[in-house]
Amino acid sequence: MTQTREEFEARLRQIGADRYHDLHPFHDLLHGGKCSPDQVRAWVINRYYYQHSIPMKDAAFMSRVEDPALRRQWRSRIEDHDGSEGNEGGIKRWLRLAEAVGLDPEYVSSCDGVLPATKFAVDAYVRYVREKTLLEAVSASLTELFAPKIHANRIQGLLKNYAFADDSSLSYFKNRLKEAPKDVAFGLAWVLDHADTQEKQDASAAALIFKTDVLWSQLDALSSAYVEPARIPPGAWVPGEGLLLAKAS
């Protein structure tokens, strides 16, 4: 039975309450100051792969959109990450965080050392957006509904517990507090407008669940590789690699 607009929005929000990656134990370690410097670096390296893939995901989406109004609205998402005149962009801000934790930004941006499972999950998300319906693609982006809370907690926790944390190194998260709400307001309204049958609502909900799985699996991989007992897979970053000090020497 097709849900009302209000019922369907509540269904989507409940998915976030149950499955969003703010519930993952790794975030308790990170935000609580319990991560070692190398664990923080591993998180920065692997999360970068996700950040740098988001504009490619959005470009793949836009290449399939025939409605100019939707393309215009979606275009700002690419600019938010890649940058534009007057906006350095989220990718550059993330590399500033990498430098603050002692990593060589060139090493991080090369994506060398990214965990195989991180690549698998993120690439699957890009492929999902490229191949699924527009409704499913937009629905998958609705994890942004739940992002402001985790960004606020992260800013507070990092500032409290880590010497590298300041306005410059945390600028990515502070800017997302301003950028994400406008994106998600549009995306949510678009999904609620277009998911007008039970079949479409089910597909939309499944897409959002898929995206929460993408985010969760990245943290599972990170924990498996770098939280005791650490099991770093072949080809992944090994502590000591890609550091600014190593480059200077």
> Is residue 248's pLDDT more than 80?
no
Please report which confidence band the pLDDT of residue 247 belongs to, taking 50, 70 and 90 as the band edges.
low
Residues in the chain: 249
Q: Which residue from 101, 112, 110 is spatially nearest to 163, judged by alpha carbons?
A: 101
**In the prediction, which pLDDT does 183 show?**
86
Angle at 163 between CA 158 and CA 168, to 5 degrees: 70
Q: Which pTM value belongs to this model?
A: 0.95
- The residue among 100, 244, 149, 22 whose CA lies nearest residue 30 is 22
* Tokens of residue 186, six digits: 């549009």
- Whole-number pLDDT of residue 156: 96
Peptide bond into 239 cis (omega under 30): no
The mean pLDDT of 75-100, rounded to a whole number, is 91
Q: Is the pLDDT of residue 86 over 80?
A: no
DSSP collapsed to 3 states, 74-105: HHHHHHHHHCECCECCHHHHHHHHHHHCCECH
Q: Answer yes or no: are the C-beta atoms of 174 and 97 closer than 8 Å.
A: no
pLDDT (tens digit, 9 = 90+) per residue, 4-51?
Answer: 999 999 999 999 999 999 999 999 999 999 999 999 999 999 999 999
3-class SS at 209? helix
Q: Which residue has the higher pLDDT, 182 or 192?
A: 192
Rounded distance between C-alpha atoms, residue 143 and residue 232, angstroms: 28
